[in-house]
Amino acid sequence: MHDVTLKQIAEILNISITTASKALKDYKDVSPKTRIAVRNLAEKLNFKPNTTALNLRNKESKTIGLLIPEIVHHFFSNVINGVIVEAENHGYLVIVLISNDSYELEKRQVELLLDKRVDGILVSLAGSTIETSHIKQILKKEVHLVMFDKISNDINCSKIIIDDQKAAFQATEKLILSGCKKIAHFKGPDGPKTSLDRFLGYKDALEKHHLSYHSDLVYTSKHVSLEDGWAYMEQALEEHPDLDGIFTITDLVAAGALRYCQENLIAVPDKISIMGFSNWFVSGLMTPSLSTVDQPGFEMGKVAFLQLLKEIELKKNQQTIEPETIIIPTSIVIRQSTKN
């Protein structure tokens, strides 16, 4: 059975195709009687508008791309959910691609999304991305771009972020106020701005509370993994037996550090306090449960999509688009891995 067309509805009711189309869109220049007749017949015949053809006429695909560095991290799972919820509310399809923190894969995925002629792209950069010409290409192609979480200041587009430096400062300060005097930082790779800002927040807290900064207390987690957390916990305690606090780049690294302490009977938080970042869904289920920075991924995903949609609508209405930076608030969640 063939799909019913708008032309067939128009012929049955002896009206023009234009009138039938306007009636379905509730145009006021079509009489209420005709509008009701068209809607009733369309419902009876299970008429489905050809959205592909409509979108082509409107020069839009009603599709956006979402490019993230990883899926295993609970934060990015929440981002995906936030984007998809808002996209569905506004009739958009989301193509989700994962770069696996690979610069080369990220470049290919940007090309793929541009080939798909998406209306806009949401991007969180791969950890290995430093050169950003492929991201700038999105704007050159006049495709809407919003960056979130892992961003680049070299790109002139809207950005949805948290204040990583402030959040890291608050997390480190909590450790200091709980009595920690010698605090190590397991930082992220050198590329992403998030790594730098969290490192700077850590340093700021030490400075405010008159604790000396020592570069040998900073360990760079290249893979931001459970294994890195375990290995750097072992190394840090061997090099600094009097260490009493750890602030980590993510909860995953913190979980590795916590596991090392458990396996080696090192009391947490009595001997050493551990603070994570992101509030991963298992952070409250660990033993002891993990103190952390709550990074609201679902809210970030929703706000990122709505900003992208706002810019799409502005362009449709031939209005000027001014890039915005929107900061999502964070909070510190104190659990059992740190002293009160």
Residues 277 and 249 sit within 8 Å (Cβ to Cβ): yes
C-alpha 194/C-alpha 114 separation (Å) is 26
Per-residue pLDDT band at 1 (split at 50, 70, 90): very low
Q: Are strands 331-333 and 292-294 parallel, antiparallel or unpaired?
A: antiparallel
Domains delineated in the chain: 6-49 (no CATH), 61-162+297-329 (3.40.50.2300), 164-294 (3.40.50.2300)
Task: Identify the pLDDT of residue 270.
Answer: 97
Which residue, among 155, 329, 59, has the nearest Cα to 146 in the 3D structure? 155
List pLDDT tens digits, range 73-95: 788 999 999 999 999 999 999 99
List pLDDT tens digits, range 10-60: 898 999 988 988 888 778 888 999 999 988 988 888 877 665 555 555 567
The DSSP output letter for 151 is -
What string of DSSP letters covers 194-249? HHHHHHHHHHHHHHHTTPPP-GGGEEE-SS-SHHHHHHHHHHHHHH-TT--EEEES
Which residue, among 340, 330, 328, 311, has the nearest Cα to 144 in the 3D structure? 311
Which residue, among 323, 329, 324, has the nearest Cα to 299 in the 3D structure? 329
Higher confidence at residue 326 or residue 2? 326
Residues 252 and 186 sit within 8 Å (Cβ to Cβ): no
Which residue, among 49, 18, 16, 20, has the nearest Cα to 34 in the 3D structure? 20
Strands (DSSP E) along 234-336, which ranges? 245-248, 273-275, 292-294, 325-327, 331-333
The pair phi, psi for residue 97, each rounded to 5°, is: -125, 145
**Alpha-helix residue ranges (DSSP H) falling in 90-192:** 103-115, 133-140, 164-177
C-alpha 274/C-alpha 205 separation (Å) is 16
C-alpha 151/C-alpha 125 separation (Å) is 6
For tokens 């915005």, the residue is 324
Which residue, among 143, 141, 140, 115, has the nearest Cα to 123 in the 3D structure? 143
Which residue, among 102, 121, 119, has the nearest Cα to 110 in the 3D structure? 121
**3-class state of residue 27 by DSSP:** coil
C-alpha 107/C-alpha 98 separation (Å) is 11
Residues 6+ apart with CB under 8 A from 215: none
List pLDDT tens digits, range 186-198: 999 887 788 999 9
Task: Identify the pLDDT of residue 289.
Answer: 97
List pLDDT tens digits, range 126-183: 988 889 999 999 999 999 999 999 999 899 999 999 999 999 999 999 999 999 999 9
**3-class state of residue 144 by DSSP:** strand
For tokens 């509805």, the residue is 9
